[in-house]
Amino acid sequence: MKFAFTDEQRMLRDTSQAFLAAESSSAAVRTASTSEQTYDPELWQKICEDMYWQGILVPESCDGLGLGWVELAIVLEAAGERLLTAPLFAVAQSTVALKLCPQTDIRDALLSAIVGGDVISLAMSDQRSGWSSCGVTANDRSNTTLLSGTARFVPFGAAASKFLVVAADASGSQSVWVIDAAQEGVVTEHTPTMDQTRAMATVSLENVAVSVDQLLADDAASLVDKTLALSRILVVADQVGVAQASLDISVDYTKERSQFDRTIASFQAIKHKAADMMLKAESARSLLYYAACIADAWFAGEADDAALEEAACMASACASEAAFFNAGSGIQMHGGVGITEEYDIQLYFKRARATESFLGRPAEMREALACQLLDGGAS
């Protein structure tokens, strides 16, 4: 039992933090997030060529690094800390979905393409009745299948060259397809969001003709469930970074600002708020790395579905609240400047809000756990 980073993991954390401190400064985040592309392609290229973060989960056989969830969590946590405005989450999520698809040449080629820097986003949900609600239908015609419908909240959809699309046939059976963003019948619309650091798009399909070599998985209900659970862990990593950074920049601010002839950091109400923020950030971090270990164990066949579901729900409920509490308390600790565009705490606040409802609110996570605990497992 050693629930601590290895030397290599510590090194990865340090280099990730140092890289993003230099490359994802407050000014850089503001420029990238308000640009037309919604991110900085040059920084993304640097990440892909110098840091290789897009390849962390990709097996070595597909040119990736073949590392695990703890490593990915480390990097995503650092990304949250610096409000990274790049499609890292989007490709990590697609990597997860691809890893859950049966091994085929097409699948492996897509994983290699991700390592090469292609942005591939997952178009999974229309959000009509929760995140597992599928808004795309698959209708068989003589020798092709036609995909029609909408997927919403597709991360960095406007930047994606390909989509992994989840579709349901008339019987409700789900399947996963890969389509080209430029394919006939596909319309991608960037949907401006309150949090500008995590761009979202709506992808509309109208009779998009797909052939069998675009089919990645059949009978995909369980694949979709698992992708959701695992994606939540990716979001949690970002939230832990947001929770930590909100605490750090707020405490720094209170040490500089004076009122009543003393720094505001010396007021007990401020100190106690900061202590509670640290408790929340550290607790969310513990559940993040627990969930990361469980994700690794689940892929290795050493943890069951219930354990994965439980870990993801717990971590998500805890980290969503930690990020929002810390960023919200952070604004209060800043006073008036916390309400200005100029200070960064508002950016964290918006990112905390956005991630809190993305893929499931804390109350939904707790209800899912309550089903496990109180209703004998049925969720």
Partner 1 sequence: MKLSFTAADEQFREEVADWLNDNLQGEFAKVRYRGGPGDEHHFVDERKAWERKLAEGRWTCIGWPEEWGGRAASIEQQVIFHEEYARAGGPGRMGHIGDTLTGPTLLAFGSEAQKAKYLPPIRNGEAFWSQGYSEPGAGSDLAAIRTRAVFDEATGQWQITGQKVWTSLAHESDYVFVLARIDRESKRHHGLGFFLVALDQPGVTIRPITQLTGTAEFNEVYFDDAVCSADDIVGAPGDGWKVAMGLLGFERGVSTLGQQMLFQTELDEIVRIAKGNGASRDPDIRQRIAEAHIGLRTMRYNSMRMLSGGEDGSLSREAMIYKLYWSSWHRNLGKLAMDVLGPEAELVEEGPYELNKLQSLFLFTRADTIYGGTNQIQRNLIAERALGMPKEPRGSAK
* Residues contributing to the site for partner 1 (CB under 8 A): 1-6, 9, 70, 247, 251, 254-255, 262-263, 265-266, 268, 270-272, 274-276, 278-279, 282-283, 286-287, 289-290, 292-293, 297, 314, 317-318, 363, 365-367, 369-370, 373-375
Structural tokens at position 21: 């401190």
Specify the DSSP element, H or E, that contains 26. Answer: helix 26-34
Cβ-based nearer residue to partner 1, 211 or 332:
332
Distance of alpha carbon 261 from alpha carbon 180, whole angstroms: 62
- Shortest approach of partner 1 to residue 129 CB, angstroms? 19
- 119 vs 237, which CB is nearer to partner 1? 237
Distance CA 259, CA 266 (A): 10
Quote the least distance from Cβ 48 to partner 1, whole Å. Answer: 26
Residue 106 or 307 having the CB closest to partner 1: 307
Amino acid letter, residue 334: H
**Distance in Å, CB of 77 to partner 1, minimum:** 13
**Residue 372's CB: how many other CB atoms inside 10 A?**
15
Cα–Cα dist 201/354, whole Å: 14
How remote is the C-alpha of 237 from its chain's centroid? 8
Among the listed residues 127, 131, 185, 186, the one whose alpha carbon sits nearest the alpha carbon of residue 158: 186
Measured from the CB of residue 63, what is the shortest distance to partner 1 in angstroms?
Answer: 25
Task: Give the type of residue at 364.
Answer: E
Distance between first and last Cα of the chain = 32
Q: Which residues contact 348 (CB under 8 A, 6 or more apart)?
A: 83, 242, 245, 246, 249, 323, 326, 327, 330
Q: Is 170 or 374 the residue whose CB approaches partner 1 more closely?
A: 374
The DSSP string of 276-329 is HHHHHHHHHHHHHHHHHHHHHHHHTT-S-HHHHHHHHHHHHHHHHHHHHHHHHH
Nearer CB in complex with partner 1: 4/194 = 4
Return the number of the residue (36 or 375) whose C-beta is nearest partner 1. Answer: 375
Question: What is the spatial distance between Cα 129 and Cα 108, in angstroms, rounded to a whole number?
Answer: 32
Q: Give dist(CA 102, CA 296) in Å, integer.
A: 18
- Distance of closest approach, residue 219 Cβ to partner 1, in angstroms: 30
Give the Cβ contact number of residue 77 at 10 Å: 27
- Amino acid identity of residue 254, one-letter, is T
Shortest reach from residue 356's CB to partner 1, in Å: 16
Q: Rounded to the nearest whole angstrom, what is the least distance from the CB of residue 254 to partner 1 in the complex?
A: 7
Q: Which is nearer to partner 1, 187 or 279 (CB)?
A: 279
Q: Which is nearer to partner 1, 7 or 341 (CB)?
A: 7
Residue (274 or 347) nearer to partner 1, CB: 274
Shortest distance, CB of residue 85 to partner 1, whole angstroms? 28
Q: At 157, list the tokens.
A: 């959809």
Least distance to partner 1, CB of residue 1, Å: 5
Selection from 331, 377, 378, 375 nearest residue 353 by Cα: 331
Residue 226 Cβ, how far from partner 1 at the closest point, in Å? Answer: 20
The DSSP secondary-structure symbol of 149 reads E
Q: Which of residues 154 and 317 has its CB atom nearest to partner 1 in the complex?
A: 317
